[in-house]
Structure formats: C-alpha cells, structure tokens
Amino acid sequence: MRKLFLFVMTSIIFDKGNGLLAMNEEQVNQTLHKIVLHSPTWEFLTKGDTVEIIAPSSGPLTASHEHEVKKLIKEHDLEASLFEGTFNKESSRYGYYANSDEERANYFVKALEGNSKALWPLLGGFGAAEIVAILEQRGFLPPPRPKLIIGFSDITALHLLVATWGWPSLHGPVLGLGKEFYQETHEKVNSEAALGTILKILKGEVTHLEYTFEVIHPGAGYMDTPITGSVMGGNLSIIENHSGTKTALKGTDRFVFFEDTPEDGKRLNRRLVNLMRTGIFDEAKAIIVGHNPVEEHEDSLLATKGPMDDFVKHFLLPRKIDIPVVYSCRFGHGLYNDIMPLGTEASLRIQEQHAVLKVSVNESAYK
C-alpha cells in the first residue's frame, strides 16, 4: 500500500506534459478509487499492437536473428519494435552482454514507458540482475499501466522485479529460442517449444492453462481438495542470487516454482536446503519443480525425483513443512518450456499419482 500511495502522489503532483498539477480532494479520491478497485494486470493484445523486443541480457545468436523474430511477430498480426542501438556488445563488459549495463537499463526503461503492451526478451544468459540494481539506484517507479514480461532463465530477475510492482508475468521461452528458430540457431534448449503458443496467449486466444504433474509428496490433508494460490519463481540460480534483496522471492500463499540446468544431486540438495533456510517454504502453499536434471544418471530427468524426495523427508518434514511437492520436466531449460503464468490466480488439486494445476494467464492474484 505504501508503494501504491507513493505512486498515486507522484502521479498527482507531476505530469510530464503539464508540470505541477492541482487536484482537489474529490479528484484525489476518485483517482485512488479507480486504482484500488482494479487489480493491475497486462492487457491482451489486438491486431496492430506492439511487442517490444528487449535485450536485458545477451544479444542475438546470428546476424539474421533479429529479422527472423520480427517476422514471426508480424505473422501473427502484431507489430515488432526494437530500439535502434539496442545491440552494442563492444560497449559491454566481457564483450558478452547486448550493451553496457547503463544502456541496457535505459532501453528497458524506454520499453516500460513506451507504447508497447508486451516486452519479450530476445535471450537470457547473464545481465538482467544488473538492470534491476541500476533501477533501484535510480529510485525508478513503475509506469501506471502494467506490461507483460515474458521469458525464463536470467529473465527471472525481471519477473521478481515486476512481482514487487504487483504485475503478473509469463515464465516461458525467450523470443530468440523455440522450435520456430531451431534451424537458425541450432540451439537445443527449448527446441521443441512453440512460440506460437505464447502469441496466442498474448492475443487472448488462450486465457487459462491446465497442466499435469507427478506427485513427489502429497502433503498432509490436501488429497482431492483444490488449493488456491498463485505461482511465483523461475530459475533456481536467480532465485538464490536475489535472496536478501528487495526483489527476493516471497513464498507466502504461493506455489513456489523453480527450474534449472543439470546439477549434481548433492549440490542440488545443498541449494534446496539453503533456500529452505531463508524461510521461502515456511508459508508456501506448494512446491512446483520444473526441469532440474541430475547429472551422471542414465535418465537425468527421472533422477530429479530422488533428491527432491530426500529433501522432503530429511529437511522439509522435520521442519513441519508438510506441503505438496509436484514435478514436471516441461518447464525451463529442457527441450520444452511450457508457459507458466506468475502472479495470477491458480489452483492445484492433488490426486494419488498426479496433480493438476489450473492457472489463469492474466487474472491478477495481487489484491
């Protein structure tokens, strides 16, 4: 509420076009009433609306990459925008990022404040956390109209940022990966993920999603009873990196979701134990485990269930954290990367062998 108050007061006293404004008490009350009554969420896109291609992390994989992603967006009757000067690896530290830290932050702010309705990063990798830090240093306040952020991996940093603003977002493939571009990039990660599915969601052709998970642990007293909450999380490494910061993941009343690249079983266990020690699972509704393959196993995806089961038995339950833990490898860094809405209304039903998650793509869970 304090952030809401500060935002409203800022809107009241300052306007880019008119300078200082004078509003009487009735106008102030009407403004507050409108904002409080409507939970913020992103708007579905219609024909001709703009998708902003952003590069908060790394740059394109090939010379024609930029052209191909714009072409895909336009094939779905939407406009694709990319700010001139977005890519300048020579100015970046390590010659890796799409641009310098300051310039990537500047372009991200321009995208947030521009006319587009959705921001879709070209790639992840490294670099988004630096943008979040720079925005914090600047005291940046979010624009009044929520915009959709799409992506995974390093983009988790942006999901965690907009969560502090009360904006729902979509965890899913970045624009530069996916089956549509495999022949261009030869990148196996998400090579079976269809970007066209995201574009259908953007246009409101899909408003709710339903997924089936394996049950690692059913929790106490949850069988066949829908659990309501919202999903929040993303890449496990990024979640860990943000612990103790202003954008740390809050697990209260959430289905805490994480995924990552292959990891040794004992290291995965250590990471989960330390995440538990932050208190993130204490008041969570459930844990959703995505792609977290365990190295040195013939079936690395199947092997994920072993460390997770051990973690529940030896660490969660002794702390009296007896909540459902479910698993599917279709979310994250694998061949597939199904869309996981974050910060939206969701319900999870636990059955004997499977769990079913039903989740809205943009009905905000922030009240």
Confidence (pLDDT) at 32: 41
Task: Classify 364 as helix, strand or coil.
Answer: strand
Confidence (pLDDT) at 283: 97
Of the two residues 168 and 2, the one the predictor is more confident about is 168
First vs last Cα of the chain: how many Å apart? 10
- Domain 208-364 falls in which CATH fold? Glucose Oxidase; domain 1 (3.50.30)
* 20-29, 64-73, 75-84, 177-186: least confidently modelled range: 20-29
> How many alpha carbons lie under 13 Å from residue 283 in its C-beta half-sphere?
5
Confidence (pLDDT) at 166: 97
- Domain 50-202 falls in which CATH fold? Rossmann fold (3.40.50)
Confidence (pLDDT) at 224: 85
| Average pLDDT for 76-105 | 93
User: Rounded to 5 degrees, what are φ and ψ at 53?
Assistant: -85, 120
Task: Classify 117 as helix, strand or coil.
Answer: coil
- Structure-token pair, residue 78: 């939407």
Task: Classify 306 as helix, strand or coil.
Answer: helix
Asked if the model's pLDDT at residue 25 lies above 70, the reply is no
Residues 6+ apart with CB under 8 A from 54: 86, 107, 108, 111, 119, 120, 121, 122
**DSSP H helix total and E strand total for the chain:** 11, 13
How much is the mean pLDDT over the chain?
Answer: 90
Highest mean pLDDT among 37-41, 84-88, 116-120, 186-190 belongs to: 116-120
**DSSP state, residue 42:** P
Digit-coded pLDDT (tens) for 312-347: 999 999 999 999 999 999 999 999 999 999 999 999
Asked if the model's pLDDT at residue 292 lies above 70, the reply is yes
Asked if the model's pLDDT at residue 145 lies above 70, the reply is yes
**CA nearest to 288, candidates 248, 244, 335, 332:** 332
* Domain boundaries along the sequence of the chain: 2-37, 50-202, 208-364
Q: What is the rounded CA–CA span in Å between residue 130 and residue 137?
A: 11
Residues 6+ apart with CB under 8 A from 67: none
Confidence (pLDDT) at 24: 57
| Average pLDDT for 361-365 | 97
pLDDT > 90 in the chain, percent: 79
Q: Looking at the chain, how many residues does it have?
A: 367
Asked if the model's pLDDT at residue 93 lies above 90, the reply is no
Helix axes 156-164, 128-138, angle to 10 degrees: 30
Please report which helix (H) or strand (E) contains residue 356, including its range: strand 354-364
